[in-house]
Amino acid sequence: MTSGSLLLLAQAAGVSLLLAAAAIVLGTAVGAGLTAMAFSRLAVVRAAYRVWVYLVRGTPVLVLALLVFYALPALDLRTGPYLAGILVLGIYAGALFAEVFRGGVLAIPRPQWESGRSLGLPPGAMLRKVVAPLVLRYALPPYVNVCVMAVKASSVLSIISVWELTFAAREIIERTLAVFTVLGVAAALYFVMCLGIDRAGKWLERRLMVRGFVGEPA
């Protein structure tokens, strides 16, 4: 494999990582909003949450990508494939994050809620000072899991003509026919990206961990 091809793959990996990062940011916001819906006082809102999460989770990312890609122009939104790609990944990761965060909220022991209540903490302060920090700690390992999935899921965006790692790999293969070498390098690049996210997650876990709080990081 030529150094030109290698450089191309590395650049494409950078694009994949950027796409995934944007999707993680978007998905985190979407997930937080969805989680708020999951704990709404209104049954309708809670039902809407469940339906949305089931629908998104139950749809293959590939189908979701095609759906969004064709739906946006039909709605007269000319976003181009990259924005559409971020939107797809963001929607997908958002539904998964929502469940991760919901699990984190459910993991907060009842006495913590009662302590907050007995102090007369207003809901905003309770959320910022107690709920969010605890959810962050409980939900971090599964959150990192979804981030890793988002990186790998970015590969399907090649179907909507997003130039990213998988797309670039296919281009090079068509030119060089070096199927296994190119795919091997691409796989290695995905692996390194996922490992990097995993390490970053572990680092954050250690930083946030009060010793003995929810067990030592693996």
Partner 1 sequence: MIEIRGLKKSFGATPVLRGVDLQVADGEVVALIGRSGCGKTTLLRCINFLEDYSEGEIVLDGQPLWYREGPHGRRRVPEAEARRMRQRMGVVFQQYNLFPHMTALENVALGPRHAQGLPAGEAEALGRRLLARVGLADRLEAYPVQLSGGQQQRVAIARALAMRPRVLLLDEITSALDPELVGEVEDVIRSLLREPIMMILVTHALGFAREIAHRIAYVADGRIAEIGRPEQILESPRDPTLKEFLRRMR
- Where does this chain bind partner 1 (CB under 8 A)? 111-112, 114-115, 117-122, 125, 129-130, 133-134, 137, 208, 210-213
Pick 48 or 127: Cβ nearer partner 1? 127
Exposure string of 190-205, with b = 16+ CB inside 10 Å and e = fewer, is beebbeebeeebeebb
Q: What share of the chain is helix, strand, coil (3-state, %, to 5)?
A: 85, 0, 15
Do residues 162 and 85 make contact, with C-beta atoms less than 8 angstroms apart? yes
Tell me how far, at minimum, the Cβ of 124 lies from partner 1, in Å. 9
In this structure, what token pair is assigned to residue 187?
Answer: 């796989």
Pick 112 or 161: Cβ nearer partner 1? 112
Long-range contacts formed by 101-105: CB under 8 A, 24+ apart: 101/31, 101/32, 101/34, 101/35, 101/135, 101/139, 102/35, 102/38, 102/39, 103/138, 103/139, 103/142, 104/134, 104/135, 104/136, 104/138, 104/139, 105/35, 105/39, 105/131, 105/135
Tell me how far, at minimum, the Cβ of 201 lies from partner 1, in Å. 18
Tell me how far, at minimum, the Cβ of 211 lies from partner 1, in Å. 6
Tell me how far, at minimum, the Cβ of 99 lies from partner 1, in Å. 22
Pick 4 or 109: Cβ nearer partner 1? 109
Tell me how far, at minimum, the Cβ of 142 lies from partner 1, in Å. 18
Pick 78 or 207: Cβ nearer partner 1? 207
For 67, the enclosing helix (H) or strand (E) is: helix 61-74
Pick 3 or 118: Cβ nearer partner 1? 118
